[in-house]
Structure 1
Amino acid sequence: MSTNVWNDQISAAGIDGFNFWKSQSIAKQLDQIVRKKLMDQKQQNINFENALSHMIKMRQFLSNPNNILGSDYTKHGEIAEHLEVNVRNAWVVLQGQKEVATFDGVNRTAPEDFILDNVKYQSKFVNGSNNTLKHVLAHFRKYQDKSMNYSIPKDQYQVIEATKSGNPPHYLNEKSVRAILQKIEEIECETGQSFQSVVKPSISKYSETELGRVGGTVSKHQDQLVDENQRIQDKIEQKARERIKFTEANKGPSIREGSKITVTSATITASLNTITIIYRKVKDGKKIQDFEMNDWKEIGLSPVKVSIKGGVTSGTIYTLTNLTSLSAPFAGAVASATMGLTSLMADLKKNQITMDDFVTQGQILCLEAGIAATGGAIGQMLIPIPVLGSIIGTVTANFVWGYAQDKLGAREQELKKILDTYTQSILSKVDTAYKDIISKINTAYAHYNSLLDAAFNVNANSAVLAAASVDLALELCVHKSKILKNDDDLEAFFLV
């Protein structure tokens, strides 16, 4: 048997380790997603409180009308200024940004009323669009400050823009339209700037700033802030759900990941000691089914502890482990056997080995898969040593036939005859014990599969899934203290 069959392979344990690391990594990612969501929600709560603080400032300002400049008919002017500063700041801090408007450094009777985005603003809230433009023009002529902008009622700005574009409201007569257009022309001529560059729309309509209505205006803005905050919180929650869904989707295997493992995995030389000993014994004339206790001890296999050291290509083991229900050692052994049998098949077709050599060496190559297939029963001492060789011999013979079937052409019947004779000779000796052992193995696999199916049934409700998960954990010998059995356990796990 050529030893190059085992070259350039990596251990199944390495891929098993990768899968464990991957599950741990995904769990860590999910934990980070939850933590980030909680942090984002906490920060948004702070942002919302800061936004509401500006609404509180606005209500405090309105709570003492006697301190507002002007008569009952003109107080809306200063009210508009405070709405402009506080409402604008409330909206930006709700988004986690810095305040954009301020009264700091502005004298109450200064030419400017407030600072917005580092630009001086004079607020002009006068009844009637033409009258507002008249006051804007008068203020500019007095101070000649081309760095200053003017804030006017939002509804009046819309009227002016419509008039400027040739679509004035139906209630404006021709004289009013001409007056508005004239004021626009004068503002642009004297400031040297476009109308839109000098005059800006306020966040408020004229009527919204009046003393008897401004309370409702503040409530309206506050309600809008509440709605927007909820939208942001919902977005945080939705984003977290999408990230969790995406991360959980990565639990499954991917071709790209499998390729990456194949390319980057370090090569670990497979241990040939076990195979060498078995091969030597077989060449000396002792069949696997006739191995005794001392033979198994020399090989390194005892009924108490089973150690599988088969090496396989990382790409194959990744696929078998993740796309089927095979365990890593068993999948590794299957992949190794397949590679070895491919080489033996080539030697057989070239008549470099006989059919008997193909069967014997093929069984040895498949030995690890045979041991892995019955490993659980061996570890639990369900298979008595006297029949261990017979059970493994039958399994390995099945592996050889499963691979060689339909590949040998005319010589297929020759191989089948040899394997059938070999298998029948074994079964005639251990038929009862064999059936009992295989039955126990199948029962064990069915038991675990039923637990897994119940624990990961996406169609079951949360209560059923939780109970099934607890059953699975107990069956896998997880300590009761480490099992999350209810919402209280889950909360304690994340918050403690």
Structure 2
Amino acid sequence: MSTNVWKDQITAAGVDGFNQWKSLSIAKQLDQIVKEKLDNQQQQNINFETALKHMLKMRQFLSEPKNILGSEQTKHGEVAEHLEVNVRNAWAALKGQSEVATFDGVARTAPEDFILDGIKYQSKFINGSNNTLKHILDHYGKYQDSSMNYSIPKDQYKVIEAIRSGQNPSNLNDKSIRAILQKVEEIERQTGRSFQEIVKPSVSNYSEAQLGTAGETVSKHQDQIVDENQKIQDEIQKDAREKTKSIEAKKGPSIGEGVKVAGTAAAIAASLNTITVIYTKVKNGKKIQDFDKDDWKEIGISSAGAGAKGGVTAGSIYALTNITSLSAPFAGAVTSAAMGLSSLLTDLNRDQISMDEFVTQGQILCIEAGIAATGGAIGQMLIPIPVLGSVIGTVTANFVWGFAKDKLGTREQELKKMLDTYTESILVKVDKAYQDIISKINTKYAHYNSLIEAAFDVHANSAVLAAASVNIAVELGVHEQKILKNDADLDAFFLG
């Protein structure tokens, strides 16, 4: 048996498996990005349509001026209220939010004009900032409702705030400025609230709410909504491009990935070296069951050195350990051993190796499974070092027999006799407690072996093989949702 070839096969399988896993993972992530982008675009289209519906409601309101409260000179008051509600709701809808303003539950002649963010509002659209403030004071004096806010023209609010900050407008004289400041102070005194808290700017200027200009005002707000919607759609596209670029960058190697690979590869290289050292000792004439404390110590030290080297060069093994979903080291080791024994069995049938070489090399192949079995995967018993070699030797011999039986024809009895003699020579060295351990391991192995034989039986039909593959996948710990059980699962996997 060529140990290097065996290592190379595992490394090649690791590299290929990792590449497939990585490509599939990246493809899935890219698909998810596309799906999220389409979902976000669709949702934004819905948001945009909802926003436009609010603007349409505003146009419908303006289309019947006779139904608007007030005279031709005062109808702008109710126009301002509807602009406030519909425009604010349109912007909220564009951002995927629910309505923020409503007339529901508000009578047309009630003290409040609309509800915004759960707060009652009275709209005051009067010509001139000083006159607007006077109407606020009159309204508050009449209703004394300290929970109510007031909405005033946006341009008037800016003027008042400028005056309060000492930046007096050039178009106002000192008398008008003093009057405005006095009314602001009076509002704060009577309500017990700050001016900014009780008085809020509208979405419209005073002139924009007039009947003659309201249509243009709606168009202006609608154009702003259209522009903002395009910005949001562009941002969705940009976000998807950036995510795609980030994912595609992962196609190449990375330092972080390399560090992970190297760390795991070191451990696996040590494991492979353990098998190599054991193989060398066996080839030199020492039986596994005769290994003493010094032998096991040597195996450990040598493997540690090999692990350090393997961490540098055998990075592909890391991927192999990540894409396999084995439930326990033992299950994976048995599967690996079965694959190696197939090759040995072919060499034996071609007379390229002797029966003795088949047994010896077969045991070496099964060492990993034997160590996994005795290391705690089954029973978790503590086995003393002097007995460890005997237990592993017996387990590996039984692994070889379990795989080779019914596959050697006339030479089967020769193999059975050889292995029986070997096993009996070992069992006389261990007491009943450890024979029980061996029995338990063999029982577990027999279970896995039967699953493996069924899954790789070339003479079985496709339905039987499929069922057997499902069974072994379950035993190896593959997540239930990842197992393809029928044609429907297969179609769903490949067609998305």
Correspondence for 1:71 = 71
Deviation sequence 1:36-65 (CA, Å, 0-9, x none): 101100000000000001000100111100
Cα distance in 2 between the residues matched to 1:150 and 1:135: 10
TM-score normalised over the length of structure 2? 0.54
Structure 1 Cα separation of the partners of residues 318 and 107 of structure 2: 75
Q: Residue 16 of structure 1: CA displacement?
A: 2.2
2:301 maps to none
**Aligned match of 1:316:** 313
CA contact (8 A) 2:51 2:93 kept: yes
Q: Name the structure 2 match of 1:403.
A: none
SS in 1 for 2:212: coil
Cα distance in 2 for residues equivalent to 1:254 and 1:174: 71
- Segment drifting more, 155-164 vs 40-49: 155-164
Cα deviation digits, residues 288-337 of structure 1 (max 9, x gap): xxxxxxxxxxxxxxxxxxxxxxxx93652448999xxxxxxxxxxxxxxx
Judge conservation of contact 2:84–2:202 (CA < 8 Å) in 1: yes
3-state SS of 1:122 partner: strand
* Deviation of the 1:261 alpha carbon: 2.2
SS state at 1:267 partner? helix
CA, structure 1 residues 273+80, in 2 after alignment: closer, same or farther (shift >3 Å)? closer
Task: Please tell me whether the aligned partners of residues 9 and 314 of structure 1 are also in contact (alpha carbons under 8 angstroms).
Answer: no
Are the counterparts in 1 of residues 14 and 317 from structure 2 also a CA contact under 8 Å? Answer: no
Identity among equivalent positions (%) equals 69
Whole-Å separation in 1 of the counterparts to 2:42 and 2:89: 20
User: What amino acid maps onto 2:132 in structure 1?
Assistant: T
Q: Tell whether 2:100 aligns with 1:103.
A: no
Instruction: Determine if the alignment matches structure 1 residue 165 to structure 2 residue 165.
Output: yes
Q: CA 1:198/1:237 → structure 2, altered by over 3 Å: closer, same or farther? A: same
What SS does the corresponding residue of 1:98 show, helix, strand or coil?
coil
Deviation at 1:20, TM superposition (A): 1.3
Q: How does 1:412-431 map to 2 (within 5 A)?
A: none
Is there any run of 5+ residues in structure 1 with no aligned partner, and where?
Answer: 278-311, 323-493
Secondary structure, aligned partner of 1:313: helix
Whether 1:197 aligns to 2:197 is: yes
Can you list the C-alpha shifts for 1:105-151, whole angstroms capped at 9, x where unaligned? Answer: 11111000001111100000000000000000000000000000000
- 1:7 is displaced (CA, Å) by 9.3
Superposed displacement of residue 93, structure 1: 1.0
> 2:218 and 2:19 mapped to 1: Cα distance?
57
1:146-168 deviations in Å (ceiling 9; x for gaps): 00000000000111111112222
Q: Which runs of 5+ in 2 are unaligned?
A: 280-308, 320-493
Equivalent runs, 1:24-35 vs 2, <5 Å: 24-35=24-35
Q: For the Cα contact (< 8 Å) 1:10–1:267, is it kept in 2?
A: no
- 2:207 is matched with 207
CA distance change for structure 1 residues 495 and 224 in 2, over 3 Å: closer, same or farther?
farther
Secondary structure of 2:221's aligned partner: helix
User: Any idea what SS the aligned residue of 1:104 has?
Assistant: coil
Q: Which structure is higher in RCO with an 8 Å CA cutoff and minimum separation 6? A: 1
Q: Does the 8 Å CA contact 1:130/1:180 hold for their aligned counterparts?
A: yes
Match of 2:363 in 1: none
SS in 1 for 2:268: coil
Question: Which amino acid in 2 is paired with 1:219?
Answer: S
SS of residue matched to 1:200: strand
Aligned positions of 1:160-309 closer than 5 A: 160-264=160-264, 267=268
Matched residue count: 292
> For residues 437-476 of structure 1, what are the structure 2 equivalents within 5 Å?
none
What is the letter of the counterpart of residue 239 of structure 1? D
Q: TM-score, normalised by structure 1?
A: 0.54
Distance 1:60 1:315 in 2: 74
Superposition map of 1:313-352 within 5 A:
313=310, 315-318=312-315
Task: Give how far 1:3 is off.
Answer: 8.2
**Superposed counterparts of 1:37-52, under 5 Å:** 37-52=37-52
| 8 Å contact from structure 2 (residues 15, 317) kept in 1 | no
- Give the helix-richer structure, 1 or 2: 2
Alpha carbons 1:9, 1:267 under 8 Å: kept:
no
**Secondary structure of 1:36's match?**
helix
Deviations 1:45-86 (A, max 9, x none): 000000001000100111100000001111000000000011
Asked whether the equivalents of residues 188 and 194 of structure 1 are also in contact (C-alpha less than 8 Å), the reply is yes
Q: Distance in 1 between matches of 2:148 and 2:113?
A: 10
Cα 1:156–1:495 change in 2 (3 A) is farther
Q: How far has the Cα of 1:251 moved from its partner? A: 0.4
Task: Report the Cα offset of residue 97 of structure 1.
Answer: 1.2
**Aligned counterparts of 1:141 and 1:495: Cα–Cα separation in 2:** 71
Q: Matched residue of 1:150: which SS?
A: strand
1: distance between equivalents of 2:73 and 2:177?
26
Q: For 1:10-37, what per-residue CA distance to the aligned partner results, in whole angstroms no more than 9, with x for missing partners?
A: 6331232112101110011011101110
> What is the one-letter code of the residue matched to 1:98?
S
Change (3 A) 1:144 1:9: farther
Q: For the structure 1 residues 5 and 64, does the alpha-carbon distance in structure 2 shift closer, same or farther, using more than 3 Å as the test?
A: closer
**Farther off after superposition, 252-261 or 74-83:** 252-261
SS of 1:115 mapped into structure 2: strand
Task: Output the CA distance in 2 between the equivalents of 1:102 and 1:318.
Answer: 64
C-alpha distance in 2, partners of 1:10/1:267?
11
Q: Which residue of 2 aligns with 1:129?
A: 129
Question: Quick one: structure 1 residues 250 and 66, their matched pair in 2 at CA, closer, same or farther if it must change by over 3 Å?
Answer: same
Contact 1:120–1:149, Cα closer than 8 Å, also in 2: yes
SS in 2 for 1:212: helix
Q: For residue 19 of structure 2, what is the amino acid of its counterpart?
A: N
